[in-house]
């Protein structure tokens, strides 16, 4: 199965995407690695509730997620956490205040291209003076859900479901 119809170098259709990872053109020999992308997600707990976001768009539209996103080039995962919380929720937490929790692989299909990600999950404390302002293009709403009432089947991604399950078992 290939999700690129034509080789981007020679235009041949004689190509294959092996294990959703290694694109190879059998005519010109081009090889392209569709590598695993790093992404982050942040668990924020307050008064025995966890902060979830509701996704505005696919994949997982209208489903629960944690704040986070893809790591930019040359960025640390902690910097991604800090940047994404500011962009999505207008919450300011410095990169040094994120504590690593777990990593889990995930599948993320965006506009028909399947990406494999490694989701790095962190925890953080919500600042006292936090005033949420949502980036509506990405986040439809936020929801504080009691740790005893989290509907795992409403969580968009398997990596986040696993993470939450492990977090609740602590």
By CB under 5 A, residue 28 contacts Zn ion:
yes
Residue 13 or 133: which CB sits closer to Zn ion?
Answer: 13
Q: Which of 6, 12, 105, 109 binds Zn ion (CB under 5 A)?
A: 12
**30 contributes a contact to Zn ion by CB under 5 A:** yes
* DSSP class per residue in 39-94: EEEEEEEETTEEEEEEESSSSSTTSEE-SEEEPPTT--HHHHHHHHHHHHH-----
Total residues binding Zn ion (CB under 5 A):
8
DSSP label at residue 155 = B
Q: Tell the smallest beta-carbon distance from residue 116 to Zn ion (Å).
A: 23
Q: In whole angstroms, how close is the CB of 1 to Zn ion at the nearest point?
A: 18
Task: Work out the angle at residue 139's Cα, subtended by the Cα atoms of residues 135 and 143, and round it to the nearest 5 degrees.
Answer: 120
Tell me the H-state helices in the chain: 77-89, 158-168
Q: Is 23 in the site for Zn ion (CB under 5 A)?
A: no
* Binding stretches for Zn ion (CB under 5 A): 7, 9-10, 12, 25, 27-28, 30
């Amino acid at each position: 199965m290939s999700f690129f119809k034509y080789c981007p170098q020679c235009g041949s259709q004689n190509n294959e995407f092996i294990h959703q990872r290694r694109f190879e053109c059998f005519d010109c020999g081009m090889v392209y690695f569709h590598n695993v992308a790093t992404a982050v997600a942040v668990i924020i707990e307050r008064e025995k509730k966890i902060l979830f976001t509701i996704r505005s768009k696919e994949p997982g539209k209208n489903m629960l997620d944690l704040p986070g996103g893809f790591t930019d080039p040359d960025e640390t995962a902690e910097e991604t956490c800090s940047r994404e919380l500011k962009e999505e929720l207008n919450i300011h937490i410095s990169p040094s205040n994120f504590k690593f929790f777990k990593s889990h692989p995930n599948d993320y299909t965006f506009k028909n291209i399947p990406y494999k990600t490694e989701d790095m999950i962190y925890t953080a404390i919500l600042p006292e003076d936090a005033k949420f302002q949502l980036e509506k293009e990405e986040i439809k709403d936020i929801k504080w859900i009691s740790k005893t009432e989290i509907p795992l089947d409403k969580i968009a991604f398997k990596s986040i479901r696993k993470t939450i399950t492990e977090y609740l078992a602590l």
